[in-house]
Amino acid sequence: MDNRGHRKPEHELTDLDKANLRIRQLESQLKDQELYKAFAKKLQELQRKG
């Protein structure tokens, strides 16, 4: 079995693996913030028109 789709346990992660995981987490948070900001902007736009 090649473990595709399975995470390594935390204690088996190398520093590089941990850094890459952190980067993915931060990119995800940034995308969420951008979506929230776009939603809030659109909501305000609709409220002004309404």
The rounded Cα 32 to chain-centroid distance in angstroms is 6
Distance CA 31, CA 46 (A): 23
Residue 4 falls within a domain, yes or no? no
Residue 8 falls within a domain, yes or no? no
Residue 5 falls within a domain, yes or no? no
If phi > 0 it is left, if psi is from -120 to 50 it is alpha, else beta; for residue 3 that is left
The pLDDT confidence band at residue 41, using thresholds 50, 70 and 90, is very high
Number of separate domains in the chain:
1
Range of the domain at 25: 14-49
Position 3 pLDDT exceeds 90? no
Residue 40 falls within a domain, yes or no? yes
pLDDT at 1: 59
As a whole number, the mean pLDDT across the chain is 92
Residue 43 falls within a domain, yes or no? yes
Residue 23 falls within a domain, yes or no? yes
pTM (2 d.p.): 0.71
Average pLDDT over residues 32-37: 98
Query: To 5 degrees, how large is the angle CA 3–CA 8–CA 26?
Result: 120
The pLDDT confidence band at residue 6, using thresholds 50, 70 and 90, is confident
